[in-house]
Structure 1
Amino acid sequence: MTSSDGSPAATTDRADHLAIGRVVRLLSEVRLAVLVVCIVSGVVKGGIGLLGAGIAVLAMLFSVMPARSWEQRGELFSRSGILLACDLVVTVVLLVLLPGELMMIYAAATVALFAAIVGTRLALFMATPIAMALLGAQGTSSDGLSWLVVATGAVGVLAMAWAGNALGAALRAQEAAARRAATGELRRAATLERVRIARELHDTVAGDLAGATMLGRTLVDRLVRDGADPRTLTLARRLAESCATAHTHTRVALGELRRAEMSPVEELTATVVDWSERTGVRTSVRVAPAVEDIPAPVSSDLRAILLELLENVRRHAAARRVDVVVELAGDTVRLVVVDDGRGIPDLEHVPADDAGHYGLRGIDERAQERAGSVRRSTPPGGGLRTEVVLRTDLDVEEVAPDGAVGAEVEVP
């Protein structure tokens, strides 16, 4: 796990870390209970030596810490190879010094704990010496355990690696689903609020500005007919122009607010379709269904980059066709825009520092802010291919769930 530094990735890692807190505490408490019973039993029967008691007390420390303070110090335990190795060594020594049925439970709980924290592969590697110590110690003990029971216990210990990992993965998946649901609720609440503001602006400010614009134009016409002095006529025209400009800006703001009603798939698709209809350039757009789950800030940056790329095509490329693809891969979203226009002669020196490439520089800067990248190349036949990759920092499945609807549009 990475340290918690306030970034989205660190926040996600900490949420995953906290998600397994319940099972970590449970397994740690099981280990503590076994150790307490073994120490008490050894003292009563006189079968535990000073070394065994000391190792048992030391082992208790490795269970007390995650059981009592996993939320505060658990990351230290899970990220520290030294602590995990020490816990493993102490467990092996305990199995040798304190053979018995209870220690088989301790071994199984330990392996499950390791698996929940570090995963199956590393847990299996750590479980191997534990199983071997269990076979050796229990097979030579005087408790009368049969080899069948001991062997079954050793196999069970190894199997706990899969069980612990499955339990940890299920808890992390549950936490991720809860985060996605919470994010969805916040997004829906924000959407409803933006729609409410848009409606109020449309019903009040936009309507008033439209009326003021008409009155201003009427006033100018009336002053012209009445032969008003030039100064008064100039002021009236400026007033009418100001009202018209304010009305236009309000309509633009309403359009941006109304975009909140669209999903990321609809928004990106509509951006390409609207641009194509406005410019007359033939386009195709394919947006993967899984893009539906990207966070709103990432969707906003992606749309801004897409619009800038399309505007660059309109201003500089003289292209006849543009192809747009948006897809999700793990925790990154990839945007590819290909046109058949003039292209860029010197791709190695783009973006330049001159004023003609501020748009390209802005795209690079947005990608860097999202820990992403921008790659430009010349496709076969000429033109320009731009690939932009942004981090989403979400646990999004690469394959969309059944029933998800993406978008693939061909605009002639």
Structure 2
Amino acid sequence: MTTPVAPERPAHLAISRVTRLLSEVRLATLAVALVSAVVGGTADLADLWVVLLAVPFSVVPALTWDTRGAALSRSGILLACDLVTTVLVLLALSSEIMTVYAAATVALLGVVVGARLALVMAVAIAMTLAYSAGVEASGATWLVALTGAVGVTAMAWAGAALGRSLRTQDEVAQQAAFAQARRAATLERVRIARDLHDTAAGDLAGATMLSGTLVERLEREGVSERTLTIARQLDSACRAAHLDTRTALGELRRAGGQPLDELLDVCRRWGRDTGVAVDLDLDPAYAEVEPELAGDVRAMVLELLENVRRHAAARHVDVVVTLGGGTLVLTVDDDGCGMADDAVPEALASDGHFGLLGLEERAGSRGGRVERAPAPRGGLRTRVTLPLVPDEVEVR
């Protein structure tokens, strides 16, 4: 069971609801203002064309923000065109309700692009609104128009603050969901480990004891060497299966701790169970690697150690993890019998040994590579190189 990884959610989705709402407000305001102008006899054909030109700048965000929001919010041309059409509409439909259109526009700009750019664009809209409302008025009417223009400009600040708040809330919600998923995965691992311990692990422990007793009894009774060989192979298989089960239980019981502690625990438990000395040299920066990469490194170390146990007949293993230049390098050296030059993972897999092939596939899935060479002390050196940044990964 893999550890859940924090999902990458596009930032524009956090403001999708308020973006659609403000776009719909603009559409409704345009419709009301246009109907009012037509009924009052103050609208002409040019005003109608201006309104039709402005409609797509509200319809498109309202209908497609979830899929196109990221592109729309980054397009300076579209934002400039929206500003121009807003100014033209305010000049064409000079009624009180257009203050609502202006306020919704600057609030929308604040939500989408932030306070600085929204304020610059809001100044032009506010000046147009003030001119449109007070061009034929004087005195107190001008004061009301100016106050409305200032209020519209302030909506840019309000929209920007709302956008920041929505993005923050969305990020917090994602982290909470991620933490809940990690907790659920941990609880599931613990449940599986408990069930495995109560069933297969207990049966294997009993089988190991019985196979050992069987070998001792057959040795005392002086049976044929062929029968003894089969009994010893059975005993060895039971012990290997029991050790594998204990290793799997340890992995399942892991509760999402720190990467350094997890790797230390893997090496310590493996050394204790096998009696082979393990020296671990960890780069302190390994504590900051992302959980998914740490999980892969842990699995690779365990697979390499298990290969040492099964095939190398080693007495000492060195495990080194270093970070630098955007990559993580895992090196495992042993002082065992080494590997034949023609022993490639694919050939071993055809004989039922899938560990090294799985190691190659795991490294390849992260855009990494595996290299093998003779170790300084006569055994095998395995070096795994993995990129640290997910964007650099190329699945092979």
TM-score over 0.5 for the alignment?
A: yes
Provide the residue aligned with 2:373 in structure 1: 355
Provide the residue aligned with 1:49 in structure 2: 44
- Any gaps of 5 or more consecutive residues in structure 2? 272-276, 304-316, 331-368, 376-380
For 1:304 and 1:122, locate their aligned partners in 2 and report how far apart those are by CA, in whole Å.
49
Task: Tell me if 1:211 matches 2:232.
Answer: no
Deviations 1:216-257 (A, max 9, x none): 111111111111111001011000000001111111111111
Give the AA of the match of 2:260.
L
Percent of matched pairs sharing the same residue: 50
Provide the residue aligned with 2:110 in structure 1: 115
Q: State the 1:21 CA deviation.
A: 2.1
For 1:242 and 1:53, locate their aligned partners in 2 and report how far apart those are by CA, in whole Å.
86
Provide the residue aligned with 1:229 in structure 2: 224
Task: Tell me if 1:157 matches 2:143.
Answer: no
Indicate how the Cα distance of structure 1 residues 306 and 256 shifts in structure 2: closer, same or farther if over 3 A, else same.
closer
Provide the residue aligned with 2:32 in structure 1: 37
Provide the residue aligned with 1:12 in structure 2: 9
Counterpart mapping for 1:55-204 below 5 A: 55-142=50-137, 146-204=141-199
Deviations 1:307-362 (A, max 9, x none): 99xxxxx7388xxxx9x99xxxxxxx99999xxxxxxxxxxxxx9966369754x2
Highest Rg: 1 or 2?
2
Q: State the 1:302 CA deviation.
A: 6.3
For 2:233 and 2:169, locate their aligned partners in 1 and report how far apart those are by CA, in whole Å.
60
Instruction: Determine if contact 1:92/1:133 at 8 Å carries over to the other structure.
Output: yes
Q: CA RMSD in A?
A: 4.0
Local SS of the residue matching 2:94: coil
Indicate how the Cα distance of structure 1 residues 303 and 250 shifts in structure 2: closer, same or farther if over 3 A, else same.
closer
Provide the residue aligned with 2:252 in structure 1: 257
Provide the residue aligned with 1:315 in structure 2: 318
TM-score (norm 1): 0.67
For 2:253 and 2:59, locate their aligned partners in 1 and report how far apart those are by CA, in whole Å.
54
Deviations 1:133-164 (A, max 9, x none): 23433342448763333333333222222211
Indicate how the Cα distance of structure 1 residues 134 and 240 shifts in structure 2: closer, same or farther if over 3 A, else same.
same
Provide the residue aligned with 1:345 in structure 2: none
For 1:281 and 1:231, locate their aligned partners in 2 and report how far apart those are by CA, in whole Å.
42
Give the AA of the match of 2:261.
T
Provide the residue aligned with 1:371 in structure 2: 391
Provide the residue aligned with 2:362 in structure 1: none
For 2:50 and 2:170, locate their aligned partners in 1 and report how far apart those are by CA, in whole Å.
36
Q: State the 1:118 CA deviation.
A: 2.1
Provide the residue aligned with 2:263 in structure 1: 271
Instruction: Determine if contact 1:114/1:164 at 8 Å carries over to the other structure.
Output: yes
For 2:140 and 2:85, locate their aligned partners in 1 and report how far apart those are by CA, in whole Å.
23
Local SS of the residue matching 1:315: strand
Instruction: Determine if contact 1:99/1:141 at 8 Å carries over to the other structure.
Output: no
- Any gaps of 5 or more consecutive residues in structure 1? 1-7, 309-313, 326-332, 338-350, 374-412
Q: State the 1:102 CA deviation.
A: 2.1
